[in-house]
Amino acid sequence: MTIRGRIIRFLKYLKNLRTRFKILISILSISTIIIVGQLLILTRIYYKTYYEGDLQNFDYLVDKFESFDYIKYVKDQARDQEYNLTKNSGTYIDRDYIEYLKEKIDDDFWKFHWWPFHTHYFHYTFNATEESQIFFTYNNNSVIAGQYHDSRVIFLAYGYGDNIWEGKSFINFSQVPYVSDYDPFTESSTISLNNTILIKMELYYHYVRAAFGHKTCRTEQFIVVNSNYQIIFTYISYRSGCFTTI
């Protein structure tokens, strides 16, 4: 082979080498983009739980009220409406719902996600405080409001027509007296509850699966118990529930 032929052959080899190098760079670039994208997505797939309170027997309180049978006791406040708490639906918080969401997110964490804005997480807070005095407003059908001793609002049910109050509640009438006015379902009473424990449970869940598919749940519930850990009342906010386009 002549020197000219060898040079031409070498130049063709370099050209092929450059082409292969470009293909390799492209593959590496695409792979890097995919890997970095997945790593960024993983930062948005998580859950956080916060347990706040330095009370004696705090762990017992957590176990008791995360395991409470809300479906059995808590009813829709509005008369003549169907009671609609459903399991693992975002309408109330219990341990099963928390574990259900954890399992979904743990499973999602190990999947490949093509949508770059995929998001899946929840934040949950269990807060318990001792209260020397709170004011409780209610009637024989509904929890209406809770206030701290300095008049700050703990929660306030939404009311409409004929004193019907939105939300879901359980009132233990072995711990508080029945309202004895002319119409105990529309008249209300405000009483002072002393030396109680106020438990607030809040959960926010957010799931974005694709460009136009998402689910967001907000759940907020309150429990007041006496010094013997007996429930005085439970209230699940009327704002609790889910919005979804999935």
pLDDT of residue 68: 92
Q: Where are the beta strands (DSSP E) in 63-167?
A: 75-76, 119-138, 143-148, 153-156, 159-160, 164-165
CB 128 within 8 A of CB 50: no
The Cα–Cα gap between 114 and 222 comes to: 39
Distance CA 135, CA 193 (A): 6
Which structure tokens are listed for 139?
A: 């009637």
Give me the residue label for tokens 């105990």: 184
Q: What is the pLDDT of residues 96-150, one digit of tens each?
A: 999 999 999 999 888 877 777 888 999 999 999 999 999 999 988 889 999 999 9
Q: Which of 97, 154, 146 is nearest to 122 (CA)?
A: 97
User: Global pTM?
Assistant: 0.81
Confidence tier at 152 by pLDDT (50, 70, 90): very high
Question: How many residues does the structure list for the chain?
Answer: 246
- Taking alpha carbons only, the member of 198, 193, 151, 162 closest to residue 53 is 198
Residue ranges per structural domain of the chain = 1-43, 48-244
pLDDT attached to residue 80 = 47
